[in-house]
Amino acid sequence: MKLFLYTTLLLFALSIDLAGQSYLVLQKGHNQKTRIRYEVGETMTYKLRDIPYYMTDVIREIQPAHILLGENIVSPRQIEVIDVRTKDERNSTLRNLTLMPAGAALLLLTAETVNSLYGEGSIQYSNASIGIAGGLVGTALIMSQIRYKRFRIKGSRSLIVLTQEEWEDNARSNRPIR
């Protein structure tokens, strides 16, 4: 009986905590597919309007009027830019796509090496294969620079504080946020 009572109290305490949870949502316009969501306990790198450098801190509490961080209390209106390099899911896709041309260049040069060793007994590369491999490596280097680095809050880009209920209602109804 005591086990049942403790289990019930624990589940009740967890449900109260989840109902009160808020999210910090970064969204451009009404596009819901590109939302970036921060939760309590996550690390956020941000730049305030009056301070010229970035700060990294852990989110302790999210309220509509303020965000309580590990060493700072910030109003959502004070935040100018948020660094999203590690948070944006699209960056992992771009990172994986960057590896493809570099791997293709390595495979091409390996095949050229094996063919020249088998056919001529020495390592020789044709100008065409060196040019193609160089182009593939160059493509990989260019693609590595195309990442979503910063979310600048201005214009149609907004920083929104949502409760758990608002987040779930919005996800079900598929309507734009405020």
How many Cβ atoms are within 10 Å of 86's Cβ, its own excluded? 10
**Where does 50-136 show beta strands of DSSP type E?**
54-62, 67-69, 73-74, 79-83
pLDDT of residue 138: 94
Print pLDDT tens along the chain (178 aa): 665 545 555 555 444 444 458 888 888 877 777 788 888 998 989 999 888 999 999 999 888 888 888 888 888 888 899 988 877 777 778 888 888 999 999 999 999 999 988 888 888 888 999 999 999 999 999 988 887 788 888 888 878 887 777 666 666 555 555 5
55 lies in the same domain as 105: no
- Identify whether 129 is part of a domain: yes
pLDDT of residue 19: 46
- Identify whether 29 is part of a domain: yes
Quick one: tokens of 90? 């699209």
33 lies in the same domain as 72: yes
141 lies in the same domain as 157: no
**Which residue range(s) make up the domain with 124?**
90-145
Full strand arrangement of the beta sheet holding 79-83 = 73-74, 67-69, 54-62, 43-48, 79-83, 150-152
pLDDT of residue 18: 47
16 lies in the same domain as 84: yes
pLDDT of residue 108: 93
73 lies in the same domain as 140: no
